[in-house]
Amino acid sequence: MEMLAYVNGEFLPESDAKISIFNHGFLYGDGIFEGIRAYSGRIFKLDLHLQRLYNSADAIHLEIPHTRDKMRELILRLCQRNNIEDGYIRPIVSRGAGDLGLDPRRCLEGPTVVIIARPFDLLYGDKYEKGLKLVTTSHRRVPSQCVSPNIKSLNYLNNILAKIEANMRGADEGLMLDLNGFVCEATADNFFIVRNGMVVTPPRVTNLQGITRETVLEIAEEMGLETREEFFSLYDVYGADEAFITGTAAEIGPVVDVDERIIGDGNPGKVTREIMGRFRDLVRTTGTPIQEKRL
């Protein structure tokens, strides 16, 4: 049976879910989205994801035509209709259909709302046991003075160019630096290092305020580990005891090689593995039940 998608008030088969070719999300990347995961019939930190969605909308002066409660209801209803147990959910809000000019005022029909919910499994397969290889890309992260990396917008070209470079160099992911040479994040994930039992990640001003990132910081503190958000360079990465990436799709991916430098002993580290285990327990036992009630 074909999966359904939500498009502007209708639940449609995915093959019939269409938007205008004049939609400014399609033409210019003018819009925002969220990536949300469901595990064992529960949606992990749904309300935090919705908060981030609406924060991104506020940042680009985009009014979402549904209340937060209504958006929550629509997501749950779609997951129910698609029988989602373990899945990936993507609500998308664009400026809507306009003309070939940039001016948002020309989008007279108002914003377009799309929600996708599909089954989803491990992004990196057996790499969670073996570890990931990263390379530093030549593409620098767009500085916050231009566009805040905390806006989860539909324009990912900066990240895509970095991902293309990582692919061409045979890596699993690309590591992006800021204009000063400090580590920001991977192309689609946040980045952490572990040194002397301390868990360190770049400040939020240079990278997306990841929900998984925040969860990892909470888990590390529960483990009694010191956590820091601070600037660090590739020198710190190459000499780290452990490294890992975090993201909604990636979950927590151990990193064992950066720019042909072996991290630690070349295997997923002890701290990383414990955080991974605790994270997997957490996501499968908490969250908003999809089948709590029929909507």
Whichever domain contains 12, its CATH number is 3.30.470.10
132 lies in the same domain as 246: yes
Does one domain contain both 102 and 191? no
Which position has the token pair 């580990």? 225
92 and 135 share one domain? no
Mean residue pLDDT across the chain: 96
Burial grade of 67 (CB within 10 A; 0-12, 13-18, 19 or more): exposed
Work out the pLDDT band at 295, boundaries 50, 70, 90: very low
- Dihedrals φ, ψ of 153, to 5°? -90, 170
Q: Is 288 a domain residue? A: no
Does residue 240 fall inside a structural domain?
Answer: yes
Chain centre to alpha carbon of residue 51: 14
Shared-domain flag, residues 168 and 241: yes
Task: Tell which of 119, 143, 170 closes a domain.
Answer: 119
Same domain, 165 and 78: no
What lies within 8 Å, CB to CB, of 97 at 6+ separation is: 19, 20, 22, 23, 24, 107, 109, 112
Inside any domain, residue 173: yes
- DSSP letter assigned to residue 17: -
- Say yes or no to pLDDT of 294 above 90: no
Determine, yes or no, domain membership for 289.
no
> Residue range 176-200: average pLDDT?
97
One domain for residues 153 and 277 = yes
Query: How far apart, in whole angstroms, are the C-alpha atoms of residue 145 and residue 42?
Result: 37
Structural contact between residues 238 and 186, judged by C-beta atoms closer than 8 angstroms: no
In terms of domains, do 173 and 269 share one? yes
- CATH code at position 229: 3.20.10.10
- State pLDDT tens for residues 220-270: 999 999 999 999 999 999 999 999 999 999 999 999 999 999 999 999 999
User: From the centroid of its chain, how far is CA 177?
Assistant: 18
Query: Considering Cα of 177, then 168, then 243, then 47, what sign does the dihedral take?
Result: positive
- Domain region containing 265: 127-283
In the prediction, which pLDDT does 285 show? 96
Identify whether residues 103 and 136 lie together within a single domain: no
pTM of the model: 0.95
E-strand ranges in 152-283 read: 173-177, 183-186, 190-195, 198-201, 226-229, 242-247, 251-258, 261-262
Single out the residue in 73, 94, 119 at which a domain terminates: 119
Looking at the chain, the whole-number percentage of residues with pLDDT higher than 90 is 96
For the cut 80, the answer to whether the pLDDT of residue 138 exceeds it is yes
Identify the domain boundary among 68, 94, 119: 119
Lowest mean pLDDT among 2-11, 82-91, 143-152, 259-268: 143-152
pLDDT at residue 137 is higher than 50: yes
Within a domain: 52:
yes
Angstrom distance (rounded) from CA 178 to CA 182: 5
pLDDT at 293: 54
Q: Supply the pLDDT for residue 222.
A: 97
Tell me: do 110 and 202 sit in the same domain: no
Task: Tell me the C-alpha distance between 182 and 202, whole Å.
Answer: 8
CA dihedral 255, 260, 262, 263 (to 10 degrees): -40
Residue 295 covered by a domain: no
Residues 146 and 113 in one domain: no
Instruction: Assess whether 106 and 217 both reside in one domain.
Output: no
CA distances for 244 relative to 185, 217, 272, angstroms: 11, 13, 7
Give the mean pLDDT of 67-90: 98
Q: Could you give the number of structural domains in the chain?
A: 2
- Co-location of 48 and 11 in the same domain: yes
Distance CA 136, CA 234 (A): 9
Beta pairing class for 261-262 and 31-33: unpaired
Q: In angstroms, rounded to a whole number, what is the distance separating the alpha carbons of residues 55 and 32? A: 10
* Collapsed DSSP state (helix, strand, coil) of residue 30: coil
21 within a domain of the structure (yes/no)? yes
CA angle (158, 169, 179) in 5-degree steps: 40
CB 285: neighbour CB atoms within 10 A?
A: 10
How far apart CA 107 and CA 128 sit, in angstroms, is: 44
Residue 290 is assigned to a structural domain of this protein: no
Cα dist from 56 to 33, 145, 149, 259, whole Å: 8, 16, 10, 33
